[in-house]
Structure 1
């Protein structure tokens, strides 16, 4: 039988077959796919073949994993040298961010966007808690909206508290398989509760002593949307650790840099100290936002440290 993985807890997997019937399944033996060594050989969103293990108990054994059309990989929380597949077979990724309580850093946003670009998954930025924004936060939102829309990303704002902008976000999710991610505390679980009320996912407030969100989701899990489509909820992340990115490739994952790479004097230009660099010239001329270049440089430096 064939099914799609809805949840992975490490050893058991929740699978729905072609008729929507849920099964508990496990793997037999060791799976290694696409030369990816990861902490989870099967991820949420994978299409699998499985055999019934015990009649009447809805349990099965996964025998095969279909080729993935894409996936998003990140540094495993277990160790920086291990990989963790967040989800597979995605139509888009949605990052829920906030400018206040807590504030999402631009570095986190840019790392998420680089990961989406690396794995060819279109990304959407959704800024939550819009009801809390005063003049300073509204100014920052408009600045970021201008930066990211200017390089081709969809940027929207919503407030789950008063439902402002929620319908527009739901329209973007309709009939798509969407990965929903974000820092702990940005309202990700509250968003899923608003979209699928019967799920009643546990939520926690931002912790007062640190201003950072508290983790509420332990494992990635897929949910069917009542209006068509699926969303995959991921554990709240304080950092988004990139894996499998080479220093030489990094600028290709910044859309505003990608279109200018052929204009650099040297083919192996890293856009730091090299002469005749079209990227640095574009930053000086205001064609590439300075903050995006800072994000590029910081990610580049982090890759350099790992390679030593």
Structure 2
């Protein structure tokens, strides 16, 4: 029995690299128990699995292996499966941090989408990094808008970077932020994830595609999540573009705990089970009225309580 890291999942087959750096095409044998999780993918990129090599039939091809078990995950990022409301889809597992690539336009990343991503990270205490890309396309007025958005998130503890994947002569700040870590890169299609990763590691040669001038939306160029070793002990995970990020496994009574600025006010409301909706003497709503909590963040909270994935 060997132990290996899952670098890519294509549904029924997995690309696995063993501890001695040998590559395998692996498939799952039997069922794996995942703490009663209802998920569409039992194994995800970033998982450590236990496998055995099958009898080789052609030495010129990548050897085939059978996966029998999975090591307990440290954490994972999960979203509601698009076609199965009661099931989740694990985007990646065992992360040191998750980076969301954001654009103000072409395409636009809404504050609601950003906040859902951050809540998903907070659920498993995964540090989050917000990367504002395509700064070269912004007007001076748009730069000011972006700076205000960055300031809003930095004030509640989330680091941000502003970059241009096509024009920045150096991405040193981003390189420093990912050094020695396993980092998930996520975002809408067209925000420039693959272009950014190609700049960081040109040898990856990831596919990119132009944005449609008509729809101002990107096309999916990444079909499956895939992990790459950028440098020794530094891994990057490229993911398919996400249109919506449906939350799963989060109860309404605990949702506010995943908003750092609301978490600071735990115990300050009149009622210990306050949902911060219409209850009297609610410290969270008072903080919103006083401008101590951004109204956009509170609106995102309301949309999550209402389970409205489309609300902006």
Alignment partner for residue 258 of structure 1, among 256, 260, 263?
Answer: 263
- How far 1:164 sits from its partner (Å)? 5.1
Paired residue for 2:53? 52
| 1:12 and 2:17 correspond | no
Change in Cα spacing, 1:127 to 1:304, as seen in structure 2 (3 Å) is closer
CA contact (8 A) 1:158 1:164 kept: no
Instruction: Single out whichever of 60-69 and 134-143 deviates more from structure 2.
Output: 134-143
Distance in 1, matches of 2:275 and 2:294, equals 17
CA contact (8 A) 2:38 2:86 kept: no
Distance in 2, matches of 1:159 and 1:100, equals 13
Give the secondary structure class of the aligned counterpart of 1:291. Answer: helix
CA contact (8 A) 2:97 2:127 kept: yes
Paired residue for 2:282? 277
Matches within 5 A, 1:177-216: 177-216=182-221
| 1:219 and 2:224 correspond | yes
- How far 1:190 sits from its partner (Å)? 0.7
Instruction: Single out whichever of 200-209 and 174-183 deviates more from structure 2.
Output: 200-209
Give the secondary structure class of the aligned counterpart of 1:102. Answer: coil
- How far 1:226 sits from its partner (Å)? 2.9
Distance in 2, matches of 1:25 and 1:13, equals 5
Paired residue for 2:122? 117
- How far 1:206 sits from its partner (Å)? 1.2
- How far 1:228 sits from its partner (Å)? 4.2
Give the secondary structure class of the aligned counterpart of 2:206. Answer: coil
When normalised by structure 2's length, the TM-score is: 0.94
Give the secondary structure class of the aligned counterpart of 1:256. Answer: helix
- How far 1:194 sits from its partner (Å)? 1.4
- How far 1:79 sits from its partner (Å)? 2.2
Please, which runs of 5 or more residues in structure 2 have no aligned partner? none
- How far 1:196 sits from its partner (Å)? 2.0
Distance in 1, matches of 2:147 and 2:104, equals 11
- How far 1:303 sits from its partner (Å)? 6.4
- Report the aligned-residue RMSD: 1.6
Distance in 1, matches of 2:5 and 2:82, equals 25
Distance in 2, matches of 1:120 and 1:59, equals 35
Give the secondary structure class of the aligned counterpart of 1:296. Answer: helix
Distance in 1, matches of 2:244 and 2:304, equals 12
Give the secondary structure class of the aligned counterpart of 1:121. Answer: coil
Give the secondary structure class of the aligned counterpart of 1:163. Answer: coil
When normalised by structure 1's length, the TM-score is: 0.95
Distance in 1, matches of 2:169 and 2:247, equals 33
Distance in 2, matches of 1:131 and 1:271, equals 40
Give the secondary structure class of the aligned counterpart of 1:225. Answer: strand
Distance in 2, matches of 1:150 and 1:190, equals 29
Please, which runs of 5 or more residues in structure 1 have no aligned partner? none
Matches within 5 A, 1:1-308: 1-55=2-56, 56=59, 57-163=62-168, 166-226=171-231, 228-302=233-307
Distance in 1, matches of 2:158 and 2:170, equals 17
Query: Which consecutive aligned stretches of 4+ in structure 1 deviate over 4 angstroms post-superposition?
Result: none
Distance in 1, matches of 2:162 and 2:128, equals 15
